[in-house]
């Protein structure tokens, strides 16, 4: 700013000098033109443009003739334009019809039926329009305040791609206060899961789903009283200031957190502000009862309205940007045409101060909330009241509408209510701790945020209206967060250690038990196997015993049979022998041959019996052996079965014991896991806070560096300026000296001219005198002649007298 001013001053200075000395010195003119090349010369109507008009245009377009209703002889008339409207557009060469016609890019070419006016003059005109058409050297050239490019293209519907979210480095609050003041501003992004909450000299941005702090927008102007997102959610407009002192509206880029522009310079705080759908206008108002609408790009006041009779609490552009609604503390509500500022509707109906207004997304209806306790909906064709509901006892302090038309409101009854697009009740959140002051509903109505007088900000998922989540309007500083997290780490670690120890112990118990279980199992298995063996053996032995018994029985039966047969045979033998003996005795011939087979048979039989007896004896021995074995085996089996039962019981007991221990171990494990997770979370939060702080510090550093760089640059420029100034001063001194010399010379010249004139006059008078003298001389000469002749005559007489009388 400084250099420009200096240059202007310089220009004015030189121009003034030029005017004063006007025709004097070529070298000075040269110096001026040199300076003009140095810096963009300020082209003004009075000095540069009017002469061009005078030369080419004024014969038709003067205030008397006004061809086509256009007069160009005054600045005002030129700006006003002709019957076809404006002919020049400030700073916009393409929008200036005059230039197009003069430049022969549009019909009718001007001046008519003539050549184009000389190029340098066209260039001057162009420069003049581009400079913003200053009237005279005192006019201030308006320059754009905001970088229009940074406003970006405006997408009115849902933006493509991921919704705009803050991506900047600032999570460091500018101010931290122990408690939060009454909540003064809350707003939800129209597209992103994002809510903005006003605190002391800052606005905190929270993720509406995770309730995570995403960033801080510093508002050093004071307390934010109004937060608004642009239609595309890319920009944030924060308005507020210091009460009874100053008020501004500041526009931020949401992603980068950069300040884009600041408008307004109120003498009191700004209560409400809004940015139009195309970001072109910012409207603001407050206790000064004036609605002021500014051009976002230039910061120029477009219009202001003073219809309101009391403090203005609410200002909202319609989502389509056509209308602007404002409402005040004396029940007044007005809808304006946003472009022109003409009044469109005067909405009368509220019985007490109107605290908040919001548009339905289709721009066809306006919702207003008042301390009379009602929310009213108005249509926008005739301004008729569509619906009025008694919403909150004691007054409705805030109302907001989201993209699907769902409405949220809060009031002095501490309640937060949701309404459908038709203003029918659609739910209520858990009550606030104190009187509600601000409320907002997030994109598509998923979350509701409200703030109360005591400074609490509460977020609800609409699905869980009884589950409030607290947000802070006064988030702690990163250092504090770090400290807090750091303080949490040790206990978290202890918790991990403790829970690990508990778990380890529990696990050991489990392990021990499991070992026991395993041993028991193994033992049981062995027992079972042995039991099997024993059983098998026993079975075998028993079958053997049976076999042996059977064999014995068979043998005995065979033996008895054999014995029987022996007896029979013996009897038979006896009989036969008796017969034989008898016969022998009887003499009959002995029949020896009949006895021998029998005797042989008997022998065989006896042999067999003996064999059998031997076999039986052996078998009985075996049987005894086997029976003993079986008895042993049986005993063993019994023993094993007892063992098995014991072992099975032990196994059951162990299993039962294992359940709680395992449970405990599992719990301990869970605890340990949780503790570990908590530690990890804390650590990660700490890390995040640290990294946030680092980023912040880096950002600070960066800003400082930039600042330092710029300051260095500025210093160097200032240095250069100073030097240039010095040089200029020297030059000026020279010029002054020359001027002084010139003036002196001029004075001398004047003096000389005066002298000449005087001399000339003298000469003339002398000439006159001379002439008269000449005449007198001639007269005298004639007189002389006469006298001479008289003298001659007298001489003659004297001579004659002397001659006659002699002597004197």
Partner 1 sequence: MIRTLKNIVCCFALATVHVASLNLAIAQDAPAAPAATVETAAPVVPAAPAAPGWESLAVYPPEVSLETAADLQNMIAVATRSDGVTKDVTAEVTWQLENPAFANFQEFRLTPVTDGETKLNASWNGHNVSVPIRVTRSAETKPISFHLDIMPILTRSGCNTGSCHGAARGKDGFRLSLFGFDPNGDYQRITREIGIRRINLAVPDQSLILLKATGAVQHSGGKKIEPGSKHYNTVLTWLKAGAPVDAGPPAAVTKVDIYPKQAVMEGEASKQRLAVVATYSDGTTRDVYDLAGFTTNNDRTASVDPSPTITSGVRGEAFVMARFDTHTVGTQVLALPAGLTYVAPTPSGNYIDNLVGNKLEKLRVLPSGLCTDEEFLRRATIDITGMLPTEQEYEAYIADTSPDKRSKKIDELLNRKEFSEIWAMKWAELLMIKSNNQVSYKAAFLYNSWLTNQLAANVPIDQIVQQILASSGGVFENPATNYYQIEGDTLKTAENIAQVFMGIRTQCAQCHNHPFDRWTMDDYYGFAAFFAQIGRKTGEDYRETIVFDRRGGEVRHPVTGANAAPKYLGGEVPDVSNRDRREALAQWITSPANPFFSKSVANRIWAHFMGSGIVDPVDDFRVSNPASNPDLLDDLAKRLIDYKFDFKQMVRDICNSQAYQRSCIPTEDNKTDLRNYSHASVRRIPAESLLDCISQVTQTKDKFRGLPVGARAVQIADGSTSTYFLTSFGRSGRNTVCACEASTDPSLSQALHLLNGDSVHGKISQGQIIKQWMDQGKTPEQIIELIYIRCLGRRVTDSEKANLLKIVAESGDAPVGLEDIFWGVLNSREFIFNH
- Per CB under 8 A, residues contacting partner 1 are 175, 177-184, 199-200, 223, 225, 242-245, 267, 269, 287, 310-311, 329, 397, 412, 435, 437-438, 453, 455, 474
| Residue 111: cis peptide before it, omega within 30 degrees of 0 | yes
Residue 455 Cβ, how far from partner 1 at the closest point, in Å?
7
Q: How far is the CB of 454 from partner 1 (least distance, A)?
A: 8
> Closest approach of Cβ 308 to partner 1, in Å?
12
Closer Cβ to partner 1, 164 or 241, answer by number: 241
> Scanning the structure block, which residue is given the tokens 């008078």?
765
Q: Where are the alpha helices (DSSP H) in 94-174?
A: 97-102, 119-130, 148-151
**Both tokens of residue 48?**
């540069």
What is the rounded distance in angstroms from the CA atom of residue 440 to the CA atom of residue 184? Answer: 12
Q: Are 457 and 411 in contact (CB under 8 A)?
A: no
Q: How far is the CB of 713 from partner 1 (least distance, A)?
A: 37
DSSP bridge partners of 343: 336
| Residue 394 beta carbon to partner 1: minimum distance, rounded to whole angstroms | 10
322-341 per-residue burial string, b: 16 or more CB within 10 A, e: under 16: bbbbbbbbebbbbbbebbeb
Nearer to partner 1, 17 or 397 (CB): 397
- Strand-pair partners of 82: 85
Q: Which of 402, 406, 397 is nearest to 369 (CA)?
A: 397
d(CA 653, CA 439): 62
**CB–CB of 462/663 below 8 Å?**
no
Alpha-carbon distance of 127 to 268, in angstroms, equals 39
User: Please, which residue, 399 or 506, has the CB nearer to partner 1?
Assistant: 399
Of 38, 5, 2, residue with least CA distance to 713: 2
Q: Residues 6 or more apart from 138 whose CB is under 8 A from it?
A: none
Q: Cβ 271 to partner 1, closest distance in Å?
A: 9
The nearest distance, CB 138 to partner 1, in angstroms, is: 30
- Geometric angle at alpha carbon 308, from 306 and 314, rounded to 5°: 110
User: 375: number of CA atoms within 13 Å, CB side?
Assistant: 29
Residue with tokens 């009989």: 575
Q: Compare residues 91 and 436 and give the one whose CB is closer to partner 1.
A: 436
Residue 387 contacts residue 377 (beta carbons within 8 Å) = yes
Q: 3-class DSSP state for residue 220?
A: coil
- Report yes or no: 201 and 185 within 8 Å, Cβ to Cβ: no
CB of 243 to partner 1, least distance (A): 4
3-state secondary structure of 265: strand
Q: How far is the CB of 168 from partner 1 (least distance, A)?
A: 24
Minimum CB separation of residue 200 from partner 1 in Å reads 5
Strand order through the sheet with 436-441 = 436-441, 447-452, 457-461, 469-471
| Least CB distance to partner 1 at residue 355 (A) | 9
Nearer to partner 1, 160 or 178 (CB): 178
**CA dihedral sign, ordered 17, 19, 20, 23:** positive
* Rounded least distance, CB 267 to partner 1, Å: 7
Nearest to partner 1 of 310, 687 (CB atom):
310
Query: CB of 475: closest distance to partner 1 in angstroms?
Result: 12
CB of 349 to partner 1, least distance (A): 22
Q: 310 vs 546, which CB is nearer to partner 1?
A: 310
Which one, 37 or 178, has the nearer CB to partner 1? 178
Element (H, E) at 520: helix 478-585
Q: Does residue 315 contact residue 272 with C-beta atoms inside 8 Å?
A: yes
**72 or 398: CB nearest partner 1:** 398
Distance CA 110, CA 120 (A): 16
Q: Is 44 in contact with 11 (CB distance < 8 Å)? A: no
Nearer to partner 1, 82 or 218 (CB): 218
Provide φ and ψ at 402, rounded to 5°.
Answer: -100, 180
> Minimum distance from CB of 328 to partner 1 (Å)?
11
Measured CA to CA, the distance from residue 304 to residue 299 in angstroms comes to 13
Nearer to partner 1, 284 or 534 (CB): 284
- Nearer to partner 1 by C-beta: 171 or 355? 355
Residue that is written with structure tokens 């003119």 in the block: 29
How far apart, in whole angstroms, are the C-alpha atoms of residue 386 and residue 619?
120
Q: Give the residue with the Cβ less far from partner 1, 453 or 770.
A: 453
Give the nearer residue to partner 1 in terms of CB position, either 410 or 482.
410
What residue has token string 């003993």?
628
Nearer to partner 1, 249 or 602 (CB): 249
Q: Which CB atom, from 397 or from 555, has the smaller least distance to partner 1?
A: 397
Q: How far is CA 173 from CA 215, 236, 790, in A?
A: 9, 17, 128
Cross-strand partners of 385: 378
Distance CA 19, CA 9 (A): 15
CB of 503 to partner 1, least distance (A): 46
Q: Would you say 181 or 528 has its CB closer to partner 1?
A: 181
Q: Is 451 exposed, middle or buried (0-12, 13-18, 19+ CB in 10 A)?
A: buried
Cis peptide before 108 (omega within 30 of 0): yes
Please, are residues 358 and 399 in contact by the beta-carbon 8 Å criterion? yes
CB of 284 to partner 1, least distance (A): 16
């Amino acid at each position: 700013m400084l250099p420009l001013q200096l240059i202007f001053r310089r220009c004015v200075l030189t121009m003034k000098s030029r005017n004063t000395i006007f025709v004097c010195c070529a070298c000075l003119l040269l110096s001026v033109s040199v300076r003009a090349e140095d810096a963009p010369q300020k082209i003004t109507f009075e000095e540069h443009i009017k002469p061009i008009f005078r030369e080419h245009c004024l014969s038709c377009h003067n205030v008397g003739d006004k061809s086509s209703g256009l007069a160009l002889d005054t600045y005002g008339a030129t700006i006003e334009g002709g019957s076809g409207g404006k002919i020049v557009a400030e700073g916009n060469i393409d929008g200036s019809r005059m230039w197009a016609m003069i430049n022969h890019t549009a019909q009718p070419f001007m001046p008519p039926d003539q050549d184009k006016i000389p190029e340098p003059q066209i260039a001057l005109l162009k420069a003049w329009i581009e400079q913003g058409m200053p009237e005279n050297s005192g006019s201030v050239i308006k320059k754009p305040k905001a970088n229009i490019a940074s406003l970006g293209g405006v997408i009115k519907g849902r933006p493509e791609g991921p919704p705009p979210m803050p991506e900047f480095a600032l999570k460091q609050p500018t101010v931290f206060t122990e408690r939060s003041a009454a909540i003064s501003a809350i707003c939800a992004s129209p597209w992103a899961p994002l809510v903005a909450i006003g605190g002391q000299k800052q606005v905190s941005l929270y993720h509406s789903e995770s309730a995570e702090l995403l960033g801080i927008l510093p508002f050093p102007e004071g307390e934010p009283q109004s937060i608004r997102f642009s239609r595309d959610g890319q920009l944030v407009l924060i308005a507020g200031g210091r009460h009874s002192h100053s008020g501004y509206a500041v526009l931020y880029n949401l992603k980068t957190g950069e300040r884009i522009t600041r408008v307004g310079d109120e003498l009191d705080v700004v209560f409400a502000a809004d940015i139009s759908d195309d970001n072109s206008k910012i409207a603001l108002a407050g206790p000064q009862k004036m609605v002021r609408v500014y051009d976002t790009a230039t910061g120029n006041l477009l219009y202001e309205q003073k219809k309101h009779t009391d403090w203005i609490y609410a200002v909202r552009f319609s989502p389509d940007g056509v209308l602007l609604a404002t409402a005040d503390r004396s029940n007044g509500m007005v809808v304006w045409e946003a472009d022109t500022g003409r009044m469109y509707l005067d909405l009368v109906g509220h019985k007490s101060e109107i605290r908040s207004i919001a548009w339905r997304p289709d721009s066809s209806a306006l919702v207003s909330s008042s301390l009379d306790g009602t929310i009213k909906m108005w249509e926008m064709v005739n301004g008729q009241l569509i619906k009025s509901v008694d919403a909150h006892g004691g007054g409705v302090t805030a109302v907001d509408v989201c993209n699907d038309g769902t409405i949220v409101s809060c009031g002095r009854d501490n309640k937060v209510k949701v309404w459908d697009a038709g203003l029918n009740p659609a739910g209520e959140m858990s009550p606030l701790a104190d009187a509600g002051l601000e409320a907002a509903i997030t994109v598509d109505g998923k979350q509701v945020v409200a703030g109360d007088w005591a400074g609490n900000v509460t977020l609800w998922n609409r699905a869980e209206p009884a589950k409030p989540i607290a947000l802070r309007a006064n988030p702690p500083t990163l250092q504090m967060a770090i400290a807090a997290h750091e303080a949490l780490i040790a206990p978290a670690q202890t918790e991990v250690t403790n829970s690990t120890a508990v778990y380890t112990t529990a696990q050991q118990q489990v392990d021990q038990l499991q070992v026991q279980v395993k041993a028991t199992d193994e033992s049981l298995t062995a027992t079972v196997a042995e039991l099997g063996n024993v059983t098998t053996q026993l079975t075998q032995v028993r079958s053997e015993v049976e076999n042996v018994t059977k064999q014995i029985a068979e043998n005995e039966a065979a033996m008895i049979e054999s014995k029987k047969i022996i007896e029979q045979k013996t009897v038979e033998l006896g009989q036969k022998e008796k017969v034989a003996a008898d016969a022998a005795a009887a003499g009959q011939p002995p029949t020896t041959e009949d006895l021998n087979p029998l005797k042989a048979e008997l022998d065989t039989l006896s042999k067999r019996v003996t064999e059998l007896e031997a076999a039986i004896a052996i078998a009985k021995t075996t049987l005894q052996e086997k029976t003993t074995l079986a008895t042993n085996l049986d005993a063993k089996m019994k023993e094993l079965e007892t063992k098995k039962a014991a072992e099975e019981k032990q196994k059951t007991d162990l299993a039962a014991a294992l359940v709680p221990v395992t449970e405990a171990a599992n719990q301990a494990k869970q605890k340990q896991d949780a503790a570990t997770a908590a530690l990890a979370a804390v650590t990660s939060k700490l890390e995040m806070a640290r990294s946030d702080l680092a980023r912040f510090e880096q950002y600070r550093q960066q800003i400082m560096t930039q600042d330092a760089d710029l300051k260095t640059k500025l210093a160097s420029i200032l240095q250069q300026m100073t030097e240039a100034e010095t040089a200029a001063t020297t030059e000026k001194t020279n010029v002054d000296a020359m001027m002084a010399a010139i003036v002196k010379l001029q004075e001398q010249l004047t003096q000389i001219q005066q002298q000449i004139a005087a001399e000339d006059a003298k000469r003339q008078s002398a000439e006159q005198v001379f002439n008269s003298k000449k005449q007198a001389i001639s007269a005298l000469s004639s007189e002389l002649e006469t006298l001479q002749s008289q003298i001659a005559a007298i001489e003659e007489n004297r001579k004659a007298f002397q001659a006659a009388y002699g002597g004197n």
